[in-house]
Amino acid sequence: MTTLTGAARTGDTAGRPPATNRNVTGRRRNRWFAQVGWRHLVAVLAVLFSLFPIVFVLSAALNPLGTLSTTELVPTGGVSLGNFGGLFERTAFERWFLNSLLIAGVASFASVFLSALAAYAFSRMRFRGRRVGLLSLLLIQMFPQFLAIVAIYLIFGTITDLWPSIGFNTPWGLLLLYMGGALGVNTWLMKGFFDTLPRELDESATMDGASHAQVFFRIMLPLVAPILAVTGLLAFIGTINEFLMANVFLTSSDSKTLAVGMYGLLQGNERNNNFGIFAAGTLLTAIPTVLVFQLLQRYIVSGLTAGAVKG
Amino acid sequence: MSTPLSGPGSATQAPGRGPVGSRAARDHAPITLTGLAGKVLLLGLTAGVAVWAAFPLIDGRKWAGLALLAATTAALFYLYLTRRHIPAKYLVPGTLFLIAFQVFPVLYTASTAFTNFGDGHRGSKDEAIVAIQSSSVTQVPGSAEYALSIATKGDPSTGPLVFLVTDPATGTVSAGDTDGLRRLDAADVTVAPGGKVTAADGYTVLNFGQASARSKEITDLVVPTAGGALRSSGLSRAYEGKAVRAYEVGCDCVRDTGTGQTWTANDEVGAFVAADGERLTQGWKVNVGLSNFTRVLTDETISGPFLGTLIWNFAFAIGSTGGTFLLGMLIALVLHSPRMRGTNLYRLLLVLPYAMPSFAMLLAWRDMFNADFGLINNLFGLDVDWFGQPWTARFAVILVQLWLGYPYMFLVATGALQAIPRELTEATSVDGASPWQSFRAVTLPLLLVALSPLLISSFAYNFNNFNAIYLTTEGAPFPADNPTNGATDLLITYTYRLAFGGQGAEFGFAAAISLFIFAIVAVVSTVSFRRTRKQEEVYS
């Protein structure tokens, strides 16, 4: 309810300049505008800026003609779901979608697990090379993996010759590659969270005879579950959006991910005609991430301020 | 090559699961059944993967790779069966991947940067000579074309190959191999209309599938003839051409028998070079020292645009990071008021761009800027060729980054603002400070402390934001005289075009530029991290 009144009031202010009324209500309105009203005005402008490209994509997806040249911001020429049908008929969209879900799902799960292991060691154990290890992770994080894309291309050329099932055009090869960047991104963030857990917790468990593995799996992991969820989600979004390496890696239509496949839709002469089905694909791709994102938003705010970056 | 291999095994290794390994103090820790079962299962899986990976290595006689694989597997078994080295149990799984797919490629990149590796310089000198000679068998004007059948006297998949060709003028059929051509008796062969031999006594004619399986051998087969040599052109045509160029050991050069011109081998550039400086396209891979690096600075066709790209790269990274931060913080401040209602709804709508798939939205933005029927021009009644002029294109890509990135800054700024105690700002207003003064003196410094690590990471990310350029302008607009380096190109998209672009791959040069980018990002990040000193606290 509060949200509704908020929005309605903004409409008022935006539509009618408050200075036109010269009576008492007018002055009160003036003061209201000076303190709160302008905030709504700015917020509405920001929302318009945020939403108009999304509205445009929505309108393109519903546009019965399905071309870029006939798409308006608001669909005026009728509404149809034909583009969604066309998407599944004319492309291997469901394959791309499954590939992306598989790769992003496994990659985010595995990378969160690997970094949680490393973060536990960095946070709870003292050993030689700890500081150097932490620093080098930080430095490696500064080197985006894809700068070495030429080398990776050549290395995987050899791998494809030897083991075709983890080479080019396979999801497993790409997964292995994404695993390489797993530690750099999340370990620092997770170590920060492990550090906030009181040491007394695991010390008392050790006293009671728990091994280091039991401390990790039974005590630490459940306590850091929220941050695991958030880093997992960020890794998921990052992997779904990864284009450069996937584009070099996956060339056959059946092995493509959403990013590579949908990029191909807008290539060449078909660019104008395919825009409708491309927009439909965009909306379908967005559904899972937007849903999970809105659910986890609260954790994300706290997680991000602790040092994560959208990758 | 075997490190990647042991990867899959160690990924699922879940090293902590084994309860056996424990610190000396905890040697009495019980061996639980789940722990033991998990350890047996995962080590078994590792062994299985290692065996699976070993066979191709043995087949390919890659003994070094095999040794590395065996050593890695043995080390893994030792690590998870001993009670010592507990930290390593947790660090090794991720580190293995890190070394195989991050550290190793980086080192490989670094070593390629000192060679001329690329199109025309891929293999050894011998390979280059073979390539030069066989590619110089050319179809000279008036040379005869023959209908071709591929045959063998032995097994279709392994026997030595023979070309069966029909002379279009006389209709005579000949069999040819590396020894030369022999005429076949017309009675022994069946010739289909069009001249293709379908059967010949004593020979097995390969069908299309068998022939294409051996297409490389077929392409390589050169049948010497009186006038030159016979080569295949596809699987059903052959032509008689002349090998005009030949390698001569005496002068270590390639001589063109037609013109008499010679190209002498030059081991510094890895190519055959003529007296007038002309090079043959087929060269070989050699070390070129630092010339890839100096080329960036000294070659004028590269250094000029390169400097421009570098400046624009910094401007783009600073503009995107700064712009998103300012806009995000502004909106966070606007919504951060106790009297403000509906903030939840606003927040829900404002962060939508962050949750949308960014690759798709970049492509959608690209088409919104389309000059002919894009939304921006339609909506504002403009007629601007956005990606056609340098400054509009630069403005457009930064605007797109602003749209994509500010919700993220808005989210984190909101979080940081909520963490600042309200008493602080209230105290300043009691002391008579204006809202602006209190923002400058209290809120902004506290926000910057909380967000500066994020801003640095965001800068490093945007500095190499490949998608932002490649999925929108692709570097366009390009100056008329330089199709490799456009006005909106970042170093990373420029490097990508050098390595994978259509104009011939220059892996060595691309690797050199990659190293430049490494250095820049590392220096900028390290310096700024030092200045924030925020990291020091984390070592506690």
Q: What does the DSSP assignment read for B176-198?
A: EETTEEEE--GGGEEE-TTS-EE
pLDDT (tens digit per residue) in A197-226: 888 888 888 888 888 888 888 888 888 877
Interface-testing mutation among A236, A305, A309, with chain B (most B C-beta atoms within 10 A): A305
Q: Tell the CATH topology of B120-136+245-289.
A: MalF N-terminal region-like (3.10.650)
Can you give the CATH number for the domain in which A278 is found? 1.10.3720.10
Nearest residue to A84 (alpha-carbon basis) of A285, A259, A270: A285
CA gap B350, B344 in Å, rounded? 10
Domain count, chain A: 2
CA gap A154, B480 in Å, rounded? 33
How many Cβ pairs closer than 8 A exist between chain A and B? 361
Residue B302: its H or E element: helix B300-335
Give residues with Cβ within 8 angstroms of B304, minimum separation 6.
Answer: none
What superfamily would CATH give domain B138-243?
D-maltodextrin-binding protein, MBP (2.40.430.10)
- Residue B503's pLDDT is what? 67
Chain A (198-237) residues lying within 8 Å, Cβ to Cβ, of chain B: 206, 209-214, 216-217, 237
- Residue B8's pLDDT is what? 37
- Shared domain for A111 and A236, answered yes or no, is yes
Please indicate whether, in this complex, the C-beta atoms of B349 and A47 are within 8 angstroms of each other: yes
Tokens (6 digits) for B513: 């530029």
- Shared domain for A23 and A151, answered yes or no, is no
Tell me, yes or no, whether A81 lies in a domain: no
Please indicate whether, in this complex, the C-beta atoms of A142 and B416 are within 8 angstroms of each other: no
- Residue B104's pLDDT is what? 87
- Residue A179's pLDDT is what? 87
- Shared domain for A94 and A44, answered yes or no, is no
Residue A307: pLDDT band by 50, 70, 90 thresholds?
Answer: very low
Tokens (6 digits) for B443: 């809120």
- Shared domain for A17 and A151, answered yes or no, is no
CA gap B433, B130 in Å, rounded? 82
pLDDT (tens digit per residue) in A166-180: 888 888 889 988 888
Q: What are the CA-CA distances from residue A260 to residues A92, A257, B2, B354 (Å)?
A: 12, 5, 29, 20
Please indicate whether, in this complex, the C-beta atoms of B334 and A43 are within 8 angstroms of each other: yes
CA angle B204, B208, B211 (to 5 degrees): 65
* Domain edges within chain B: 3-112, 120-136+245-289, 138-243, 298-538
Instruction: Identify whether the C-beta of residue B409 lies closer than 8 Å to the C-beta of residue B325.
Output: yes
Structural domain of residue A296, as residue ranges? 86-305
Helices B507-532 and B104-112 pack at an angle, to 10 degrees, of: 130
Please indicate whether, in this complex, the C-beta atoms of A304 and B94 are within 8 angstroms of each other: no
DSSP designation for A35? I
Q: Which residue in chain A has the smallest CA separation from B371? A: A69
Please indicate whether, in this complex, the C-beta atoms of A180 and B100 are within 8 angstroms of each other: yes
Please indicate whether, in this complex, the C-beta atoms of B408 and A181 are within 8 angstroms of each other: no
Give the residue ranges of chain B where pLDDT is below 70.
1-31, 134-135, 141-142, 226-228, 502-503, 532-540
Please indicate whether, in this complex, the C-beta atoms of A289 and B379 are within 8 angstroms of each other: no
Chain A (75-104) residues lying within 8 Å, Cβ to Cβ, of chain B: none
- Shared domain for A109 and A20, answered yes or no, is no
Q: Does A304 touch chain B (CB under 8 A)?
A: yes
Tokens (6 digits) for B318: 């600073």
Higher pLDDT among residues B164 and A70, named by residue: B164
**Any idea of the CA torsion for A52, A57, A58, A64, to the nearest 10 degrees?**
130
Tell me, yes or no, whether A60 lies in a domain: no
Tell me, yes or no, whether A59 lies in a domain: no
Q: Which residue in chain A has the smallest CA separation from B365? A: A53
CATH number given to B298-538: 1.10.3720.10
Q: Does B106 touch chain A (CB under 8 A)?
A: yes
pTM: 0.73
Q: Which residue in chain B has the smallest CA separation from A162? A: B56
Please indicate whether, in this complex, the C-beta atoms of A68 and B367 are within 8 angstroms of each other: yes
Start-to-end CA distance of chain B, whole Å, equals 38
How many other β-carbons are positioned within 10 Å of the β-carbon of residue B223? Answer: 23
Tell me, yes or no, whether A196 lies in a domain: yes
- Shared domain for A39 and A90, answered yes or no, is no
Tell me, yes or no, whether A185 lies in a domain: yes
Tell me, yes or no, whether A169 lies in a domain: yes
Q: How many residues does chain A have?
A: 311
CA gap A2, A43 in Å, rounded? 16
Please report the sign of the dihedral spanned by the C-alpha atoms of residue B345, residue B350, residue B354, residue B355: positive
pLDDT (tens digit per residue) in B473-494: 888 788 877 777 888 989 888 8
Please indicate whether, in this complex, the C-beta atoms of B5 and A163 are within 8 angstroms of each other: yes
Nearest residue to B376 (alpha-carbon basis) of A275, A202, A21, A73: A73
Tell me, yes or no, whether A62 lies in a domain: no
- Shared domain for A116 and A26, answered yes or no, is no
CA gap B199, B326 in Å, rounded? 79
Tell me, yes or no, whether A76 lies in a domain: no
- Shared domain for A186 and A259, answered yes or no, is yes
Please indicate whether, in this complex, the C-beta atoms of A43 and B86 are within 8 angstroms of each other: no
Q: Does A166 touch chain B (CB under 8 A)?
A: yes
